């Protein structure tokens, strides 16, 4: 064993080195986003103050407020001082001041973000797992009736725009049948507590969640099914069969597990798409999430708020991608060492 130790250590070194490179990629992306966020308003023609806050906000501003803002963003300082101020502010969680809500952007976003996270997170988990499981089952039964029905159903769903499904569901279950509330995340002034509050939240969540899941399930399903068809042709499936493994083990432990790899990659890439979907659906269901917030900010031309939302969204996308990458590495040993 002693003789082999140096080899092991060397291999660990290599892995750590690869990890560092990989992490630094994320760091660089993050920095680039920050810099863009910093540079863009300052590159607009005219006064950065105008660029950041917009004409309308400035008209209604008192000179004291204006001076306060200039001081706060160090707009009278050279650019490197501005950058340092910007980064320090960010690090302390200061995304600027929302002129529309008359409070810090961070506070505003934090009030809306949990609902979006709840909706998107749940939709992501449900659509991914359901898509994968349906894809595996459907691919394994290729050519059967079940496979055919699922395939055409999914193609149909996948072709619909997300807000459209949202509107249809809202009209059907909300307006016509009255099974679900028409909007919001909780019943206002109901004073629910404990389990009642949870049920109330779920009641409000169910329609937007279903809409989002229905739209998002199709691509995962199609990709999984396709990956299954390819994996089932691989030789190790025959090896597994010859070993006398049961159907379940072959379907999930071998074929399914291997089909997951491209699906996970695609999941990461689907996150931005999913977030846009959420933004639309939130508006359809007047769900108090970041989408609705962005909508408000856009109509009020509250530029700091818009920027803050965009920054948070990009950071979320980046984080999800990071998590997906981590998952992929756990799933595929070939990437673990080749990364």
Partner 1 sequence: MLEISGLRARYGEHEVLRGIDLMLEKGDSLAVVGESGAGKTTLGLSIMRLAGARLEGNMVFDGMNLLELSDEEMRRLRGDRMAMVFQNVEDALDPVYTAEEQVCEAIAAHNKWSRERIRERARALLTAVGLDEMRYQLYPHQMSGGERQRVLIAMALANDPDLLILDEPTASLDALTKADIVELLRSATSDRISIIITHDISLASALSKRMAVLYSGMIMEMGRTADLIREPKHPYTRGLLRSFPSMNTTKDLQGIPGRTIPRIGGCPFHPRCTQRIEICAREVPRPEELNGRLIACHRGGIVPLLEIRDVCKFFSSFPAVSHVSLTLYEGETLALVGESGSGKTTLAKIIMGLIEPDSGEILLEGERARWDAGFYRRVQMIFQNPKESISHRLNVLQAVREPLDVQRIGSEEERVARAMKALESAELSTDPEFLRKYPHQLSGGEAQRVAIARALVMHPKLLIADEPTSALDPSVQAKILRLLMDLQERMGLSILFITHDIALARKVSDRIAVMLRGSIVEEGPSGEVLREPAHQYTASLVECASICTRMAWETHVLD
- Interface residues toward partner 1, by CB under 8 A: 4, 234-236, 238-246, 249, 253-254, 257-258, 331-334, 337
CB of 96 to partner 1, least distance (A): 47
**What's the min distance (Å) between Cβ of 248 and partner 1?**
11
Which of helix, strand or coil describes residue 186?
coil
Shorter beta-carbon distance to partner 1: residue 203 or 257? 257
| Pairing relationship of beta strands 103-104 and 97-98 according to DSSP bridges | antiparallel
State the minimum distance, in angstroms, from the CB of residue 232 to partner 1.
11
Question: Please, which residue, 112 or 140, has the CB nearer to partner 1?
Answer: 140
Which residue, 108, 101, 33, 123, is CA-closest to 290? 108
Helix axis angle for 303-331 and 105-140, nearest 10°, is 40
- Which of residues 34 and 266 has its CB atom nearest to partner 1 in the complex? 266
By beta-carbon proximity to partner 1, the closer residue of 5 and 177 is 5
CB of 338 to partner 1, least distance (A): 9
Residue the block writes with tokens 């739209």? 215
If the CB atoms of residues 6 and 246 are measured against partner 1, the closer one turns out to be 246
Give kind and range of the element (H or E) at residue 52: helix 48-59
Closest listed residue to residue 182, CA positions, set 211, 216, 208, 213: 208
For residue 273, the minimal CB distance to partner 1 (Å) is 27
Using the 8-state DSSP alphabet, how is residue 256 labeled? Answer: I
Distance of alpha carbon 234 from alpha carbon 143, whole angstroms: 18
DSSP state letters, 78-130: -HHHHHHHHHHHHHTT---EETTTTEEHHHHHHHHHHHHHHHHHHHHHHHHHH
Q: Which is nearer to partner 1, 120 or 259 (CB)?
A: 259
Closest among 274, 235, 269, 275 to 255, alpha carbons compared: 235
Query: Which residue lies nearer to partner 1 by CB, 71 or 253?
Result: 253
């Amino acid at each position: 064993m002693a003789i082999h130790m140096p080899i092991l250590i060397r291999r660990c070194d290599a892995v750590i080195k690869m990890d560092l490179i990989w992490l630094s990629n994320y760091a660089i992306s993050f920095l680039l986003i920050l810099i863009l966020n910093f540079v863009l308003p300052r590159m607009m023609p005219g006064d950065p103050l105008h660029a950041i806050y917009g004409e309308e906000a400035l008209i209604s501003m008192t000179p004291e407020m204006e001076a306060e803002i200039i001081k706060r963003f160090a707009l009278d300082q050279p650019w490197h001082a501005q950058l340092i101020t910007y980064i320090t502010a960010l690090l302390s969680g200061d995304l600027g001041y929302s002129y529309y809500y008359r409070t810090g952007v961070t506070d505003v976003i934090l009030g809306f973000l949990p609902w979006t996270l709840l909706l998107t997170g749940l939709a992501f988990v449900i659509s991914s797992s359901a898509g994968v499981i349906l894809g595996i089952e459907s691919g394994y039964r290729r050519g059967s009736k079940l496979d055919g029905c699922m395939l055409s159903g999914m193609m149909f769903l996948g072709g619909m725009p997300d807000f459209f499904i949202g509107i249809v569901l809202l009209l059907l279950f909300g307006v016509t049948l009255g099974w679900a509330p028409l909007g919001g995340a909780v019943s206002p002034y109901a004073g629910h507590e404990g389990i009642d509050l949870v049920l109330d939240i779920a009641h409000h969540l169910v329609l937007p969640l279903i809409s989002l899941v229905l739209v998002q399930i199709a691509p995962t399903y199609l990709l999984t099914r396709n990956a299954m068809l390819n994996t089932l042709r691989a030789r190790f499936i025959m090896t597994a069969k010859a070993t006398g493994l049961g159907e379940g083990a072959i379907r999930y432990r071998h074929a399914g597990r291997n089909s997951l790899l491209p699906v996970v990659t695609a999941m990461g890439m689907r996150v931005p798409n999913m977030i846009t979907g959420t933004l639309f659906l939130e508006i359809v269901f007047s769900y108090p999430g970041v989408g609705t917030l962005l909508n408000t900010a856009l109509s009020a031309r509250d530029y700091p708020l818009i920027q803050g939302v965009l920054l948070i969204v990009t950071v979320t996308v980046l984080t999800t991608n990071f998590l997906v990458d981590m998952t992929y590495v756990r799933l595929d040993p070939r990437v673990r060492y080749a990364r």
